[in-house]
Structures are given as structure tokens and as C-alpha cells.
Amino acid sequence: MSQPRTMNKQVKTAAIIVAVLTVSVVIIIVSTSMTDTQIDYAVDYHKITIPVDHFTTMPPDPYPTTDYHRPVFFMKPNSIAHIYVRYFATWDYPNMIDLGRNLSVYNATNHQPLSDHQLVVSVDPTGIPHKNGENYTVVYSFIAKSDAQGIYGMAFSGCYNRGGDVDIAVGLNSSQIRPQDIPVSTIAAASCQVGGFIENQIIGFVNATVEYKPAIRVP
């Protein structure tokens, strides 16, 4: 009688060990899968190195936010300019912010899309995390073709106290920029006076110049 009891105990012990090992393997597989997902999820974001040479720090805005002025970036045709933007997160958001979605420039005066792509824009990295209190720096690259000339606009993600858009003048000088060429949306400017989920600040640029120019307001 003692031998069957001993065998039953061995069988039970073996079954318990197998069950524990099975659970452990499942936990390891799930943990590895979650870790891989987190790594893949964040792969879009990487730190940008700000260049030492030829980098110009963004000058301070000399005008009150209640005035209608905008920073206008000047670049030459057949050139590449870079604008460095720092994003600030004001609360936690579970997903990455896709900066590359619907990335384009338009005619700044009438807000019409460009038909012949005289000015092309890209952003690096294309996605940024969103953790309250953290900041993330990206670089926007603008490629102007040899026939590019005019005033172009582009909307960065998030809020900026001048209304959100950035104006880029290609092949023009300061005297050729009129207030009606760079209209400011009063709705966009007002909305950015209230804390948003993400805010942006231009920190500097390469291969361009900048000047704050008077603008007109539009609804």
C-alpha cells in the first residue's frame, strides 16, 4: 500500500512542478512581448543633436502677444533651412504624437495648398512621446527648389502664442513682406492663450534668418 501512495505523491509533485513551469513560461513570454511592444512603440523618437556651427538661437519676441506680429523666416531658393522646435507636454497622453501626419506647406497669403511643391518640408523625428512636464526637440527641414519664390506657411503641432503657423519667405527680402501677406488667425491665437496639451517653442535655426514682422488679424 505504501508504494502506490508514494507514486501518487510523486505524480502530484510532478504535476505541480509542470504547472508552475508552464505559468512561469507564460509570464516570461508575455513580459517579453510587452517589452518588445514598448521598445517598438518608442522607436520613432530619438534625441536630436543641436549643431554647434551655423546654429542661430531664436531671438526673443519683442512684441506683446496682444500685438499682431509674426516671425518670418527668410531663406534662399535652391537651399535647405532647418528650424529646431521644442515641444512641451502639459499632461500625460497615452499615444505618440504623430508630427509627420499631414505635414505640408501652403501659400501663406491665401492658405491654398501648393500645386508644384516649390517648398518641401520634413520633420525628424516624426513622432514624439507625451509625458507631463517633459520636453522633446525636433528639427523641421525645408527644401526650396530653384524656382521657389514667395511666402509660405506651415502649422506646427501644438500651440504657439502667435497663432500656431510659421511663415517662410523664399527669394524675398524684408521690405517685400506686407502685413496682409502674413495674416494671423485670432481664433488660433486666442485658443493658445489657454493651456493646451502640448506647446511649442522655436529654439533656433540653420541656413536662414528671421525677423518679426507686423501682420493683420483675420477671423
Amino acid 36: pLDDT: 33
Stated pTM of the model: 0.74
Residues 169-214 have pLDDT tens digits of 999 999 999 998 888 776 665 556 555 567 788 999 999 999 999 9
Q: Pick the range with the lowest mean pLDDT from 34-43, 68-77, 133-142.
A: 34-43
Residue 69, C-alpha cell as written in the block = 506680429
Q: What is the mean pLDDT of residues 122-126?
A: 93
Question: What pLDDT is stored for residue 160 in this prediction?
Answer: 61
Report which of residues 217 and 207 the model is more confident about.
207
DSSP string, the chain: -HHHHHHHHHHHHHHHHHHHHHHHHHHHHHHHHHHHHHHHHTTT--PPPPPSTTEEEPPP--S-TTS-EEEEEEE-SSEEEEEEEEEEESS--SS-EETTTT---EETTT-PBPSS-SEEEEEESSEE---TT-EEEEEEEEEE-TT--EEEEEEPSSB-TT-SEEEEEES--GGG--GGGS-EEHHHHHHTTS--SEEEEEEEEES-EEEEEE--EE-
Give me the pLDDT at residue 30, please: 34
Average pLDDT over residues 10-39: 39
The pLDDT > 90 percentage for the chain reads 30
Task: With a cut of 80, say whether residue 167 has pLDDT above it.
Answer: yes
